[in-house]
Structure 1
């Protein structure tokens, strides 16, 4: 076989793989009763959130180490995914929380300022300056959690955030580690730490919703939020050649092909969604909050072109 023939064969195989991913993701959305809806970002709200960040002294320069590149994601999360929250101050807080969290995540991936990241949790616990503008911002935002949530829920959000930092550091220290088939739960462990799902699960329910109406669905909700993101991100990650995503780690730990791992993850995530729906049905306010976030979470991925949802949904002509 000539080099040209081999390249064409590889290209065709890659196209088949990507088509299979698009088909699987489209099926995932259908099985959850979710539809693709073209969504745009609220420019007025974006400008308002950026100005608020500037007024508060958050790092918002045009340099690399700044919240500015991440504000569009924060605005999209707070206004589209969690747009049902009626308190404007809480939505603004959630925008800043999301933007700062993604900025911290990218800092770790660039291996930038790792010394301060290692000391974040210690400094947070002892109320010490973080030694870094973005981490100081993250610290400040996290300390405001009790203004928006009950003491118990604030505690869950805070510990989830500190676990997020530990999860990032764990990923850093285990780079290149061979994934053992004798530790099939390890990918889930690392995903729970680094996904912030515990916090984002509690963000779903406004303070007016009694805890007893929804607390039993939190484990399924954490699973859904983490892995819906993994599923919707996988197409772009495969195109980018990312071999460290959750689907790839799951495949390695279970001795599966990546497509088999994706399909199994989709099956479990759909089940988690239906468990949540059944659990919340008797409680209308909690159910409506989840329904809004569930549809909004898909719109969040749609609004950000990086996830390529429009291309994915064209696979099944659902546009």
Structure 2
């Protein structure tokens, strides 16, 4: 299951980094539904994974959730690329809405929920992982990518746009997001622990692993700020 999740995440990253023609991404859903070849090799690899590998590993219903999430991710990318850089910057919640599409937590969560008859019978307990992981994926990434995206590259990142929406400084937005993320993590752990300790353990392990990955990936340049993980 972990190998399958790693392959899926790598496919998504390759699509995001290498599919330069937005029109190709717009054709993904239609080509997938009609079982037609994708116009891009990276999209074709993703489509093949969704058609063949995913149903074998996580079953048909969870594959449906996975496909739906993939379409949200692609549509979010398309919409972001199509909008002018300052569009709707003052509409409350606009960039939070877009960010939710791109998070991919529902997709990744399909590979964290155990398979088997016993797990399927308790699916409603495990399904709470999906929104919890989606939030953490968005918030943790926005916090730990702020340095390389905004400080180094001066990109119009999520925290920059939210600051424009809320008419506050970027540091204020960063501080608020850090506080919200830590509080949400602790609250989720508390609630999950009351119903299913296994669900809480899956959640904890994934969030800690996701944070750790940002520190080990040189792309985020966290070492330049002297940030280190605790031993």
Q: Aligned-pair distance for 1:119?
A: 0.7
* Partner of residue 67, structure 2: 158
Instruction: Extract unaligned runs of 5+ from structure 1.
Output: 1-89
Contact 1:121–1:165 under 8 Å retained in 2: no
CA-to-aligned-CA distance 1:153-174 (integer Å, 9 cap, x gap): 2222110001111111101110
- Aligned residue for 1:294, secondary structure, equals helix
Pairing of 1:277-288 with structure 2 (within 5 A): 277-282=189-194, 283-288=196-201
* Alignment root-mean-square deviation, CA: 2.2
Q: In the alignment, is residue 106 of structure 1 matched against residue 106 of structure 2?
A: no
* Partner of residue 303, structure 1: 216
Instruction: Determine the C-alpha separation between the residues in 2 that align with 1:206 and 1:165.
Output: 26
Q: Indicate how the Cα distance of structure 1 residues 309 and 257 shifts in structure 2: closer, same or farther if over 3 A, else same.
A: same
Instruction: Determine the C-alpha separation between the residues in 2 that align with 1:279 and 1:154.
Output: 27
Instruction: Determine the C-alpha separation between the residues in 1 that align with 2:109 and 2:137.
Output: 7
Instruction: Determine the C-alpha separation between the residues in 1 that align with 2:185 and 2:157.
Output: 22
Which of 108, 123, 135 aligns to 2:31? It is 123
Which of 135, 155, 158 aligns to 1:243? It is 155
Contact 1:104–1:134 under 8 Å retained in 2: yes
Greater mean deviation of Cα atoms: 146-155 or 278-287: 146-155
Q: TM-score, normalised by structure 1?
A: 0.65
* Partner of residue 76, structure 2: 167
Q: TM-score, normalised by structure 2?
A: 0.87
Larger radius of gyration: 1
Contact 1:167–1:194 under 8 Å retained in 2: yes
Q: In the alignment, is residue 229 of structure 1 matched against residue 164 of structure 2?
A: no
Instruction: Extract unaligned runs of 5+ from structure 2.
Output: none
CA-to-aligned-CA distance 1:188-231 (integer Å, 9 cap, x gap): 11111122122123333222543232323532331112111111
Contact 2:149–2:157 under 8 Å retained in 1: yes
Give the length in aligned residue pairs: 225
Q: Which has the higher contact order (CA 8 A, sep 6+)?
A: 1
Contact 2:72–2:102 under 8 Å retained in 1: yes
